[in-house]
Structure 1
Amino acid sequence: MSAHSHAPHGVTATGKHRQALMLVVIITLSVVVVQVIGAVLSGSLSLLADAGHMLSDAAGVFIALLASWIAARPATVRSTYGYQRAEVLAALANAILLAVIAVVITIEAVRRLGEPAAVRTDVMLIAAALGGAANLVCLFILHGGHRESLNLRGAYLEVLGDLLGSIAVIAAALVIAVTGFTQADAIASILIALMIVPRAWSLLRDVINVLLESAPKGVDPDMIREHILKVRGVVEVHDIHAWTITSGVPVFSAHVVVDSESLNAEGVDRMLDRLTHCLSNHFDTEHCTFQIEPLEHAAHESRQHA
């Protein structure tokens, strides 16, 4: 016998912040236009690299928005969890996109080190300063929500990287203006690429954990087992599984062996209420499934997991 406590389908962590994500996309694309124009007028590679980075960020956030819309579609007979995992796939695409951008920037920057070009530092400074201001606004918009969703976290980290990139461009412009060392532009571009790599890896690592159905962060199956064993009437717990469908949607299942007094209809109903209450209150897991078993059932059950 099993019990299901369902979190509302379609209400994913990213879905709750769609307006914020859309506003970030609009601001970011506006800055991209300004920085591309500034890069063309100034001849700055680092400014163009920062613009390319911001364009990839806007694309990543747009993918997250599209995925959150897809994730809101209802479950079907074949897709029993709906399409919420689409958000995780979008985060994967975002991580790969970041890695590609880092490689392209590095290749072009290395080439520029051997062939430095003249740079107009005044235009470079203005465009970079506008980009930095816009990034601060976007960070404020995304603050808080980045703790709930992989895609919002990805967007937050990307905007933070953009801010650091803008600072690097400003620093390069000041160095060139004061010393005439034009290679500072290419060096700043390499620094931007280096800032992208760890963020891409961090996002990719979290996506892999979800796709491999690892236990969610902060969820210790052994601790859950201890809590369930304290529920009145529970004799043993085995075949425990804890995983994540998408950000903000943890799932749990277990086989729960109960005493004979809990096996009548009224007793099972109370038992399921206690179990779901335990998971919801202590581990913030609303979607849980319990298979209730009599003690005698263990003799002819093949256990797949502890």
Structure 2
Amino acid sequence: MSEHKTGHGHGHGVSAGADRKWLVRALVLIVGFMAVELVVGLIAGSLALITDAGHMLTDAASIVLALVAIRLAARPAKGGFTYGLKRAEILSAQANGITLLLLTAWFLYEAVTRLIDPPEVQGALVLVTALAGIVVNVAASWCISRANRSSLNVEGAFQHILNDLYAFIATAVAGAVVWWTGFARADAIAALVVAALMAKAGWGLVRESGRIFLEAAPAGIDPEAVGEQVASVPDVVQVHDLHIWQITSGEPALSAHVLVRPAADCHAVRAGIEEIMRSRHRLDHTTLQVDHADESRAEHCEGSHGPTYRFTERS
């Protein structure tokens, strides 16, 4: 006897329509101020402001990609795309991360160049623009915080803007230093701070999106511990082909082949395992194949993937 059962959990708390509304509001704020900042940065001769404007360009791009990904992810699964296009948001997040890393390299080069040969910088203009940027970024951050941040895509856009907020603070400090002391290198130092923040955010997005593409287990879930828990369920003899991955951010999934004692109730065992997965690991999307163990065979499946967990292995 065998049984295949799939359960689904898709509660994210915020609708895609609400996400789009808040993201569009943030986008309008970002694009509007970015244009102003670029012009002022060129007039003031401030690399820190130009760097901030470049960062805001990636902010805008991340929000646009998030909006596109939300629309694609909402399409129903069909044809060869059995999960739909939910991973479009992960592609978006990875593109955001790579863009941040590339811009980081360029801004680092420019900052070091200006540290060696600092140009004249209008500190007062830099300070006023950076203070205005702080206000705009606080407003944009608040807008995106209202969207569903369990999505790696939306979280990526939020991290972009949050890092830009910190960057504006550094730029404001640099503008004040240049204005009050005439130390022009403060502008390049602020640009280095911005570049460091961009590198941190970019690497985080690339790392997390890469884990999803490589089918790694979600952070915080130990597959070995899960396997031992399943093997400890009453009447379970063996667990193999255990896989835990993320379909997209916020949607972890599990599949496994479970062997139970010949006289056991497959339905009851499956229900017990699913309850453990839901309550302990928030794994609502499970696919379990439950079979009676064949005591005449040492292994039920040939070439199973990953470790095998047996009743005798539990503590």
Q: Does structure 1 retain, via aligned residues, the 8 Å contact 2:30–2:60?
A: yes
Partner residue of 1:301? 301
Cα 1:198/1:181, change in 2 over 3 Å:
same
Q: Does structure 2 retain, via aligned residues, the 8 Å contact 1:234–1:256?
A: yes
1:239 deviates by 1.6
Q: CA RMSD in A?
A: 2.4
Residue type of the alignment partner of 1:203: L
Cα 1:224/1:147, change in 2 over 3 Å:
farther
Equivalent runs, 1:129-140 vs 2, <5 Å: 129-140=131-142
2:276 is equivalent to residue 278 of structure 1 = yes
1:230 deviates by 4.1
| Alpha-carbon displacement from aligned partner over 1:123-165 (angstroms, at most 9, x marks no partner) | 2222111111122223333348675122222222222211121
Higher helix proportion (structure 1 or 2): 1
Aligned length: 301
Q: Distance in 2 between matches of 1:271 and 1:68?
A: 37
Query: What SS does structure 2 have at the residue aligned with 1:170?
Result: helix
| Alpha-carbon displacement from aligned partner over 1:268-294 (angstroms, at most 9, x marks no partner) | 333333332222222111111111111
Equivalent runs, 1:218-237 vs 2, <5 Å: 218-237=220-239
1:65 to 52, 64, 67: 67
Partner residue of 1:120? 122
Partner residue of 1:6? 8
Cα 1:24/1:14, change in 2 over 3 Å:
farther
1:79 to 71, 77, 81: 81
Q: Distance in 2 between matches of 1:129 and 1:165?
A: 11
Equivalent runs, 1:35-184 vs 2, <5 Å: 35-143=37-145, 148-184=150-186
Q: Does structure 2 retain, via aligned residues, the 8 Å contact 1:172–1:184?
A: yes
Q: Does structure 2 retain, via aligned residues, the 8 Å contact 1:12–1:248?
A: no
Q: TM-score, normalised by structure 1?
A: 0.89
2:289 is equivalent to residue 288 of structure 1 = no
Q: Distance in 1 between matches of 2:9 and 2:85?
A: 14
Cα 1:86/1:12, change in 2 over 3 Å:
farther
Cα 1:74/1:135, change in 2 over 3 Å:
same
1:255 deviates by 0.8
| Alpha-carbon displacement from aligned partner over 1:23-67 (angstroms, at most 9, x marks no partner) | 222221122122123213322221111011111111012112211
Residue identity (%): 35
Q: Does structure 2 retain, via aligned residues, the 8 Å contact 1:125–1:169?
A: yes
Structure 1: 5+ residue stretches without partners: none
